[in-house]
Amino acid sequence: MTARENVELASQITKDARDVDETLALVGLTHRADNFPAQLSGGEQQRVAIARAVAKNPKLLLCDEPTGALDYQTGKQVLQVIQDAAKQTQTTVIIVTHNSAIAQLGDQVIRINDAQVQSVEHNAHPTPLAEIEW
pLDDT digits (tens, 9 = 90+) for 57-86: 899 999 999 888 888 988 898 899 899 888
For domain 3-131, give the CATH superfamily. Answer: P-loop containing nucleotide triphosphate hydrolases (3.40.50.300)
Mean pLDDT computed over 93-108: 94
Q: Any idea what the Cα angle at residue 82 is, between residues 51 and 76, rounded to 5°?
A: 120
This prediction has a pTM of 0.81
**pLDDT value at position 44?**
93
Domain ranges of the chain: 3-131
Residues in the chain: 134
